[in-house]
Structure 1
Amino acid sequence: MAGVAASGRQRSRIAPYLMILPALAYLAIFFVIPFWSLFRTSLSTSGGSVYLPTLTFAWDFGNYAEAFTTYQEQIVRSLGYALTATVVCLLISYPLAYVIAFKSGRFKSLLLGLVILPFFVTFLIRTLAWKTILADDGVVVSALGSIGLLPDEGRLLSTSWAVIGGLIYNWVIFMILPLYVSLEKIDARLLEASRDLYSSSFRAFRKVILPLSMPGVIAGSMLVFIPAVGDFINADYLGSTQTTMIGNVIQKQFLVVKDYPAAAALSFMLMALILAGVLSYTKALGTEDLV
């Protein structure tokens, strides 16, 4: 009996590790191996021709310095666009998520469905639709021009505002949903208690609702900022050569120029910058309630 019990305890200790083996295998095949390959590429030297490039691993850290020096403007622009889009998404999404969570009543499911509905259309089609909306002969430009918000011959397409607008439109849902989940979990009795203690609505929001919704703010901000930094579709279709983002540069280096070391070095620098920003952001706001 003692041997059976010992065998059962041993199996129970091994079982959790066996259960995560598929996930570990998935990560090893689709993340660790490609990550290592990209790292080696970033430290290699390229040779051959454009049509048949060759790579030689040489611990060439100069690829990083050269890539950063050459494309510093695009890196800064991408971070600025993504940060602006994240802040605007937060300002738009918080009131909407608040209304759906606390004020929508029996229309809650309908409002959530309306929020999600546009995202049944593929990312590329939504961006092309945005391009049509902001076209020089479109309704938006005509309306803004008629009320004096755009000068004569003014335009929205191929500007930084168009790119940022596309980022906001395409990623705003990833801010709305985490915020809604965090707000919906807040016990309404806490707000009643704050009113019983003669708290104003603003003070109740600042002391009760906002702190309890911070997990949604943090999660939504990361879900918007991280993909927005590396986005290249919006800058490609809605921008110009003056609004090129680092994602466009990486895409061109990989697929057109075929300078794989430079593209890999840029990819690693972008990952490092995003990681540093995310860690600083989560440390400043706290992450205890995210799990």
Structure 2
Amino acid sequence: MKHLSPDFIQKWQHRFIIAIPMLWFLIFLLIPFLFVLAISFTIPADGTPPFSALFTYANETLHIILHLSNYIQTLHAKLIYIALFDSVKIAVLTTLMCILIGYPMALALARMKKQAQQIFLILIIIPYWTSFLLRTYAWITLLGNNKFNAFLMKLGLPSMALLYNDFSMYLGMVYCYLPFLILPLYATLIKLDPILNDAAADLGAKPIKTFFKITLPLSMPGLIAGSLLVFIPAVGEVVVPQIMGGLNSVMIGSVIWEQFFTANNWGMSAAISVILLIILVLPVIWMQKIQQRQLHY
């Protein structure tokens, strides 16, 4: 057997490491997306599954039938634009609130001692070992308790409805997605050299100026990654707005759900999903270009 050079072994090791996430991407994202894309070009039909065939074979000829009606109806439906606008607005506000709450937490976590870091990381992760639905219903039980409202009134807060409104919806959204911002941001902040802050202090910079000139710019990769991890799933969120939100909250995820399960229109549901995916991919590409420019400079 011919002796294998270290460069040859290292090259194939890198290929093997890259092949694992690529295989995961192929099986769990690309192939399902191709199925959804194919269904989006069908129309409702009787049978199981309830949509027309994409390929037909007759007289030794293979026919590919692509119906564009789902996309045409989607682009002309006013409800889709309203739901999409509301979804993006809720996702943006959720992301901003997660940043305002999560950044100080991640910064404090990164500057703790290692033992304290481990304890607080466990406290952040432990609730997510429980079912997403159970945690949502736990908030409903808490916010719907009159004793909890009475306790807030004793603290001097006015009496208000804590459930089935925008307040409870944003509370549930922030609670569910906050760790998705804290963890990648913490992973970036913990790598920052504290000597940089000491050097800035020696040069006369105040803590606020040091934060905006050093800490915040260097933590942007983690902040961008965490913001995308919050924003993208928040746009298509279904459970929290339906269970904790009010009647005025119409999310694009709810529209997709109703078209699939209630109207039994798989093609329309798939078309909306494809359009939503295209819209969500655009900010990811934009963020990647910004990061590449920062690396070049």
What interval of TM-score do these two structures reach, taking the shorter chain for normalisation?
A: 0.7 to 0.9
Distance 1:18 1:267, change over 3 A: same
State yes or no: 1:233 paired with 2:239.
yes
Q: TM-score, normalised by structure 2?
A: 0.83
What is the deviation of 1:263? 0.4
2:109 corresponds to: 100
Distance 1:24 1:98, change over 3 A: closer
Residues 45-124 of structure 1: pairs in structure 2 closer than 5 A = 45-48=43-46, 53-57=50-54, 58-68=65-75, 69=77, 70-103=79-112, 106-124=115-133
Letter in 1 for 2:239: I
Q: TM-score, normalised by structure 1?
A: 0.84
CA distance in structure 2 between the aligned counterparts of 1:41 and 1:118, rounded to whole angstroms: 37
2:149 corresponds to: 141
CA distance in structure 2 between the aligned counterparts of 1:124 and 1:72, rounded to whole angstroms: 28
8 A contact 2:142–2:148 mirrored in 1 = yes
What is the deviation of 1:218? 0.6
2:58 corresponds to: none
State yes or no: 1:159 paired with 2:165.
yes
CA distance in structure 1 between the aligned counterparts of 2:122 and 2:196, rounded to whole angstroms: 28
What is the deviation of 1:20? 5.1
Deviation readout 1:13-50 (Å, 9 max, x if unpaired)? 6675566556544443333322111111111111227x
What is the deviation of 1:171? 0.7
CA distance in structure 2 between the aligned counterparts of 1:95 and 1:18, rounded to whole angstroms: 38
State yes or no: 1:172 paired with 2:204.
no
8 A contact 1:215–1:287 mirrored in 2 = no
Letter in 1 for 2:137: L
Distance 1:46 1:284, change over 3 A: same
1:44 corresponds to: 42
2:272 corresponds to: 266
SS at match of 2:45: strand
SS at match of 1:98: helix
5+ long unaligned stretches in structure 2: 55-64
Letter in 2 for 1:55: S
Quick check: 194-203 or 244-253, which moved more?
244-253
What is the deviation of 1:82? 0.9
Letter in 1 for 2:118: S
Quick check: 18-27 or 36-45, which moved more?
18-27
1:182 corresponds to: 188
What is the deviation of 1:285? 6.2
8 A contact 1:250–1:267 mirrored in 2 = yes
SS at match of 2:181: helix
8 A contact 1:133–1:139 mirrored in 2 = no
What is the deviation of 1:167? 0.8
What is the deviation of 1:86? 0.6
Letter in 1 for 2:281: L
CA distance in structure 1 between the aligned counterparts of 2:142 and 2:171, rounded to whole angstroms: 11
CA distance in structure 2 between the aligned counterparts of 1:168 and 1:268, rounded to whole angstroms: 26
5+ long unaligned stretches in structure 1: none
What is the deviation of 1:88? 0.3
1:31 corresponds to: 29
Quick check: 56-65 or 218-227, which moved more?
56-65
Residues 236-247 of structure 1: pairs in structure 2 closer than 5 A = 236-247=242-253
SS at match of 1:75: helix
Letter in 1 for 2:177: W
CA distance in structure 2 between the aligned counterparts of 1:167 and 1:148, rounded to whole angstroms: 23
Distance 1:5 1:210, change over 3 A: same
What is the deviation of 1:255? 2.2
8 A contact 2:221–2:291 mirrored in 1 = no
Distance 1:186 1:252, change over 3 A: same
CA distance in structure 2 between the aligned counterparts of 1:112 and 1:7, rounded to whole angstroms: 42
CA distance in structure 2 between the aligned counterparts of 1:180 and 1:267, rounded to whole angstroms: 32
Q: State the identity %.
A: 30
After TM superposition, the runs of 4+ consecutive aligned structure 1 residues lying more than 6 A away are 5-15
Quick check: 89-98 or 66-75, which moved more?
66-75
More helix by share: 1
